[in-house]
């Protein structure tokens, strides 16, 4: 197998399907939290245990996409550092909290 073919095969093995299309890059943030980018969009992916934790912290919260597995980068992504502040830098958590306070006033944290 040629080097370019190996590169393509390895990339396909590490690709996941997202609501925004196939992933181009997956960056692990913490156990059960990945930041995923695609050709045109991206966001956070939560594992089942992280989804359960999120649901306990924010009962009844439904992201625009309808699933606690995906939090798109434009608006919903701010909820992930708010829900899991121990996994992010303090400055990122504060920015996320300010964003959520502005656009999701009904939430308390």
Q: Which residue has the higher pLDDT, 12 or 106?
A: 106
Cα–chain-centroid distance for residue 107? 19
Q: Which residue has the higher pLDDT, 53 or 8?
A: 53
H helices of 1-109, in order, are 3-13, 48-57, 79-83, 90-103
Domain boundaries, the chain: 16-103
Res. 13 pLDDT band, cuts 50 70 90: low
């Amino acid at each position: 197998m040629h080097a370019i073919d190996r590169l393509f095969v390895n990339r396909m093995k590490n690709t996941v399907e997202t609501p925004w299309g196939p992933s181009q890059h997956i960056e692990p943030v913490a156990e059960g939290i990945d930041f995923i980018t695609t050709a045109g969009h991206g966001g956070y992916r939560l594992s089942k245990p992280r989804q359960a934790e999120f649901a306990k912290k924010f009962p009844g919260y439904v992201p625009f996409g309808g699933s606690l597995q995906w939090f798109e980068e434009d608006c919903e992504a701010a909820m992930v550092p708010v829900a899991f502040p121990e996994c992010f830098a303090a400055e990122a958590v504060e920015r996320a909290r300010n964003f959520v306070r502005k656009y999701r006033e009904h939430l308390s944290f």
